[in-house]
Amino acid sequence: MTQPLPLPMHCIPVTNATVLELYEYVVAPWVKELGLCQFSVSVGQASARLPQKPALKFSSGAVCGQAIMSAIDTVIALAMMTTQRTTKGTIYQHTHFLRPAVNDDFLVQATVLRFGKGTAFAEARVTFVSSGELVAHATAEFAF
């Protein structure tokens, strides 16, 4: 069994200068296939663009919820890592889908709401890039 590489601690807290390096190191290869791009982070916040791709769509043309939920989880994790604390992972995520995810790219924006001793809470909004209409809203809890 191979040992994992040590986390690049110079990337914590994650900044706009280090977000791509940390993303490449931390995120699973299949999540990278989502195509998240245009990352932006600040303390307690992160955002990324999720482009429409045929590989993410149902036969109806809508992007599947699993892809959107994976993008949400990834962007919230980046928001969590904008502080000195290193997350141990997601322990809860609840997502509401408010309209069909069709015909546009998405902006995934995450905000950390509160840090506790062992957990932190965040929310995310997924909107259409062109109109700003809300596609999905999620809340999440992360362990520390």
Cβ neighbors of 138 (< 8 A, separation 6 or more) are 69, 72, 76, 93, 94, 95, 96, 123, 124, 126
Note whether residue 77 is domain-resident. yes
d(CA 61, CA 139): 26
Position 5 pLDDT exceeds 90? no
Note whether residue 75 is domain-resident. yes
Note whether residue 7 is domain-resident. no
* DSSP helix/strand/coil, 140: strand
Q: How confident is the model at residue 34 (pLDDT cuts 50, 70, 90)?
A: very high
Position 12 pLDDT exceeds 80? yes
CATH number of the domain at 16, please: 3.10.129.10
Note whether residue 2 is domain-resident. no
- The number of folded domains in the chain is 1
Position 139 pLDDT exceeds 80? yes
Note whether residue 25 is domain-resident. yes
Tell me the sheet residues that pair with 128. Answer: 106
d(CA 140, CA 79): 12
Mean pLDDT, residues 110-124: 96
* Whether residue 13 has a cis bond before it, omega within 30° of 0: yes
Q: What is the pLDDT of residue 113?
A: 96
- What rounded mean pLDDT belongs to the chain? 94
d(CA 128, CA 25): 28
Position 3 pLDDT exceeds 80? no
Note whether residue 52 is domain-resident. yes
Position 87 pLDDT exceeds 90? no
Q: How confident is the model at residue 4 (pLDDT cuts 50, 70, 90)?
A: low
Position 83 pLDDT exceeds 90? no
